[in-house]
């Protein structure tokens, strides 16, 4: 059956009927730019500038150290964690926003291995299962922790999601997986994988860097054991904004992490030389918090409070469906390969295409105002943030891509920047 031809008018009409369209006005988007890289760094909420000025000029500038109490700085990690929790399918008191994703992953993986080691029936397990295509820092942290512990832990990598069931066996202590793959946008069935882990006596640790704020999550309902993620992508917290860690209530009493800093102490200002972990989620904290960047996270969360993850997901799928269809209709004569799943249940909020000169093509797109990014090997990534991406953006982006490909308006010798 012949595919329906999509027009620019169709895209503009969809914007007129989009209930999320007004939220675009909450972001400061540069003129002449189509921003399709929110899966790497979210756009700036307009409120962030005012909030930063407030923290710097009033809370820090005038109230100085008193703001730890008077402005609520001390409670920010837990208070913002409670605001984030509903987007993750978590309960109040199960999330803190703190540190980086890598550091939080180190804490969570160490805690998971410790929980398994303290169980006589599982103490001999020495396998950590992950995917070879996982985001490299996750693998690096697992490698580093395993070497540091020097207890024979090994990282078992699979090359396909289909191999996970066999790899997660009676020798597996922890499955450490990213819910939505950073290259391809492939989305795991969290509930099914977590259930399989538990049937084998393993724990399920999830990285939500490309999920939080992009797809509906139900950590408790899916039976996950631990999770981490960042706030600077779809949550729009700002470059390098603090990450988060989720420890469900069922595991908090057993949660022990090696970075036992004073913010995770039961009584940090008692100044006791011996460490005693705080009750609850606070034991996942480590050191003094970066207040300015932490405060800006709330500006992104304020916007999420104006809608629902279900509405965001509906638009996300509509945007990505449209992008795939337009690229395949209007760029069909070019060597583009779709690597993102077509199936909705297996797709996050990005679309990735390969091209033999992917880096050069992406640089040409950026020069024309269409900002995506590039990942090896030969993958052009396009992220769709329903809070501020329009259907007209999708049409215009594909038209610029088509023109670049048709006219060969890209430099195959384009110099690689430090960040691609």
Does 323 qualify as catalytic in the annotation? no
- Return the half-sphere exposure (C-beta side, CA atoms, 13 A cut-off) of residue 91: 10
Separation between Cα atoms, residue 1 and residue 323, nearest integer Å: 20
Point out which residues pair with 361 in neighbouring strands. none
Could you say which of 107, 183, 381, 402 is catalytic?
A: 381
Does 353 qualify as catalytic in the annotation? no
Separation between Cα atoms, residue 64 and residue 56, nearest integer Å: 10
Does 381 qualify as catalytic in the annotation? yes
CB contact at 8 A, 386 and 349: yes
Q: Which two tokens stand for residue 153?
A: 């832990």
- Return the half-sphere exposure (C-beta side, CA atoms, 13 A cut-off) of residue 165: 4
Q: Which two tokens stand for residue 273?
A: 């030389």
Could you say which of 35, 135, 182, 234 is catalytic?
A: 135
What phi, psi does 235 have (nearest 5°)? -85, -10
Q: Which two tokens stand for residue 49?
A: 């500038």
Could you say which of 44, 233, 283, 347 is catalytic?
A: 233
Could you say which of 186, 232, 382, 410 is catalytic?
A: 232
CB contact at 8 A, 324 and 342: yes
DSSP one-letter code for 362: H
Does 15 qualify as catalytic in the annotation? no
CB contact at 8 A, 139 and 93: no
Separation between Cα atoms, residue 35 and residue 372, nearest integer Å: 7
Q: Which two tokens stand for residue 417?
A: 């920047």
CB contact at 8 A, 279 and 266: yes
Could you say which of 18, 37, 138, 207 is catalytic?
A: 207
Separation between Cα atoms, residue 78 and residue 285, nearest integer Å: 10
Does 18 qualify as catalytic in the annotation? no
List, by residue number, the catalytic residues: 135, 207, 232-233, 381
């Amino acid at each position: 059956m012949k595919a329906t031809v999509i027009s620019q008018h169709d895209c503009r009409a969809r914007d007129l009927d989009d209930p999320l369209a007004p939220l675009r006005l909450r972001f400061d988007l540069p003129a002449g730019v189509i921003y399709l890289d929110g899966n790497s760094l979210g756009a700036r909420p307009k409120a962030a500038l005012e909030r930063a000025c407030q923290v710097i000029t009033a809370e820090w500038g005038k109230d100085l150290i008193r703001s730890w109490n008077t402005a609520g700085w001390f409670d920010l990690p837990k208070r913002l964690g409670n605001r984030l929790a509903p987007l993750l399918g978590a309960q109040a008191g199960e999330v803190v926003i703190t540190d980086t994703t890598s550091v939080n992953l180190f804490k969570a993986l160490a805690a998971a291995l410790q929980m398994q080691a303290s169980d006589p029936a599982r103490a001999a397990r020495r396998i950590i299962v992950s995917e070879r295509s996982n985001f490299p820092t996750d693998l690096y942290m697992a490698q580093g922790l395993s070497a540091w512990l020097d207890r024979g832990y090994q990282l078992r990598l699979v090359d396909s999601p289909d191999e996970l069931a066999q790899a997660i066996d009676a020798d597996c202590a922890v499955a450490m997986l990213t819910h939505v793959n950073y290259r391809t946008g492939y989305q795991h069935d969290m509930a099914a994988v977590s259930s399989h882990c538990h049937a084998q006596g393993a724990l399920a640790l999830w990285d939500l860097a490309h999920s939080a704020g992009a797809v509906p999550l139900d950590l408790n309902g899916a039976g996950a054991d631990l999770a981490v993620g960042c706030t600077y992508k779809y949550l729009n917290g700002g470059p390098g904004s603090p990450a988060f860690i989720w420890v469900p209530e069922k595991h908090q009493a057993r949660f022990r992490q090696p970075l036992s800093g004073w913010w995770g102490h039961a009584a940090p200002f008692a100044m006791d030389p011996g460490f005693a972990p705080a009750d609850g989620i606070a034991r996942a904290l480590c050191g003094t918090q970066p207040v300015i960047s932490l405060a800006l996270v709330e500006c992104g969360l304020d916007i999420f409070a104006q809608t629902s993850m279900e509405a965001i997901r509906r638009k996300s799928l509509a945007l990505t469906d449209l992008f795939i269809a337009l690229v395949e209709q209007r760029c069909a004569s070019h060597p583009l390969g779709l690597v993102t799943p077509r199936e909705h249940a297996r797709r996050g909020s990005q679309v990735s295409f390969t091209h033999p000169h992917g880096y050069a093509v992406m640089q040409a797109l950026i020069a024309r105002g269409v900002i995506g990014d590039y990942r090896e090997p030969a993958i052009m990534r396009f992220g769709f943030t329903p809070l501020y991406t329009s259907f007209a953006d999708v049409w215009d982006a594909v038209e610029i891509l088509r023109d670049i490909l048709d006219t060969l308006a890209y430099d195959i010798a384009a110099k690689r920047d430090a960040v691609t």
